[in-house]
Homo-oligomer: A and B are copies of this chain.
Amino acid sequence: MKHWTLLELAQHLNAELIGDGDYPVTGIATLANAQPHQISFLANMRYASQLADCKAGAVILHPDQDHYFAGNKLLLNNPYLGYAKLSALFATASAYQGVHASAVVAASASIGDAVVIGPGVVIGEHVRLDAGVHIGPNCVIGDHCSIGKETRLAANVTLYHGITLGQRNILHSGAVIGADGFGFAKDGVDWVKIYQLGGVVTGDDVEIGAGTTIDRGALDDTRIGNGVKLDNQVQIAHNVVLGDHTAIAGCTAIAGSTTLGKNCTIAGACGITGHLYLADGVHVTAMSLVTHSIKEAGAYSSGTSLDANHKWRRNAARFKQLDQIAKRVKLLEQEQ
């Protein structure tokens, strides 16, 4: 089992070490579950009381909180960030190496150094995979795709033709990049397909969750900025533009040609309709529907709060009378 000494971890985090620098650490765990060979962290004062009985071999703490734990500790101004940085050390690596014999790789593809292509993968014509790219089992990469250095695709990811991914992207299983945008022109009752001729371009350090779909643009490209993080089952329609470092939680759908600014956070199960512009720093709470552009940073919401069903029914029935109620209140005020 791989392990690090506490001194090595302190140096990795640039943290102040208090205790035994030779202490071996083989994993990370929560305060409640940590064992002596593991390191833990206090990121939320709600859990400070757990430190008294914590069995962890070491704990990452804010310097102001070092008195909460008697054992080995690493002091850092942002213990949660310290945890994040350590988590990478303990992640499981895949066993695949090189290009698996069962993969079908077009002769015209360009394969960089140390690229891993798993079993069952299909790589189309004129694909370019830069150094350190990792393609998981049964992925399909369409013709003319380009994938930047050290980008990793888990198993069963699909890239249509002409997709460009930046460096250090992570794409999770079931993700589909570059399917046709949902575009049709009406011809009487018939829908005539608008073939989608644009592509998808992602920046660096993008993560795309399981089952997430990003459609190719109609004419121009759909564009995902640097450091964007998309959770599972997110739907990004054609010609959407996502600004750098914007994060979108699971099951949110963004309709065509909408632009989100930088550093936005969109919670789960939201909908954002098409052809809108959201400013930098917009935050939308869970299951909200955005139907107008938002010009100012801030938090936005729609919907109603949960209630016992029998109460909700009565209030929901009244919602249909709300305009009438408002008019009646006005009348009462006038007649006073």
Q: What are the residues of chain B within 8 A of A306 when measuring CB–CB?
A: 284, 288-292, 294, 300-302
Query: C-beta contact mask, A289-317 vs B, less than 8 Å → 1, else 0?
Result: 11110100011111111111111111111
Q: Which residue of chain B is the closest to A331 with respect to CB atoms?
A: B333
Question: A269: shortest Cβ distance to chain B, in Å?
Answer: 4
Quick one: given A195-B87, A211-B174, A332-B332, are A229 and B140 in contact (CB under 8 Å)? no
A167-213 interface with B by 8 A CB criterion: 170, 172-174, 176, 179-180, 182-187, 189-197, 205, 207, 209-211, 213
Shortest distance between the CB of A199 and any CB in chain B (Å): 10
Q: Is the CB of B232 within 8 A of A250?
A: no
Whether A235 touches B235, Cβ cut-off 8 Å, given contacts A179-B173, A303-B289, A326-B321, is: no
Contact of A143 among B95, B190, B303, B311 (CB under 8 A): B95
- Chain A contact surface mostly: loop
Within 8 A of B (CB), among A193-251: 193-197, 205, 207, 209-211, 213, 215, 218-220, 227, 229, 231-233, 235, 237, 244-245, 247, 249-251
With A308-B298, A332-B332 already in contact, the answer to whether A104 and B119 are too (CB < 8 A) is yes
For A187, the chain B residues whose CB sits under 8 A away are: 78, 81
The 8 Å CB contact of A300, one of B156, B232, B292, B308, is: B308
A118 to B160 alpha-carbon distance, docked (Å): 14
Query: Given A84-B184, A302-B305, are A220 and B336 also a contact pair (CB < 8 Å)?
Result: no
The bracket for how many chain A residues form the interface is: 35 or more
- With A119-B104, A232-B213 given, is the CB distance from A125 to B95 under 8 Å? yes
Stretch at the interface among A3-11, A15-23, A26-34, A62-70: A26-34
**Shortest distance between the CB of A79 and any CB in chain B (Å):** 9
- Which of B136, B179, B263 contacts A140 (CB under 8 A)? B136
What per-residue 1/0 map shows which CB atoms of A258-297 lie under 8 Å from chain B?
0000110001110101000000000111111111101000
Whether B322 contacts A315 by the Cβ 8 Å rule is yes
CB neighbours (8 Å) of A190 from chain B are 205, 227, 245
28 contacts between A and B (CB under 8 A): A78-B185, A87-B195, A90-B197, A91-B195, A94-B143, A95-B125, A102-B102, A118-B122, A120-B120, A122-B137, A156-B158, A158-B173, A170-B180, A172-B176, A172-B180, A174-B211, A182-B250, A189-B262, A209-B213, A233-B235, A253-B268, A268-B273, A286-B289, A287-B289, A290-B306, A311-B320, A318-B323, A325-B326
7 pairs of A and B residues whose beta carbons are closest in the complex: A84-B185, A299-B309, A140-B155, A179-B210, A87-B195, A91-B195, A122-B137
Given A94-B143, A189-B262, A325-B326, 5 other A-B residues pairs in contact with their CB atoms under 8 A = A182-B209, A255-B286, A302-B304, A307-B320, A315-B321
Chain A residues near B (Cβ < 8 Å): 27-30, 33, 78, 80-81, 83-85, 87-88, 90-92, 94-95, 100, 102, 104, 106, 118-120, 122, 124-125, 136-138, 140, 142-143, 154-156, 158, 160-162, 170, 172-174, 176, 179-180, 182-187, 189-197, 205, 207, 209-211, 213, 215, 218-220, 227, 229, 231-233, 235, 237, 244-245, 247, 249-251, 253, 255, 262-263, 267-269, 271, 273, 283-292, 294, 298-323, 325-326, 328-329, 332-333, 335-336
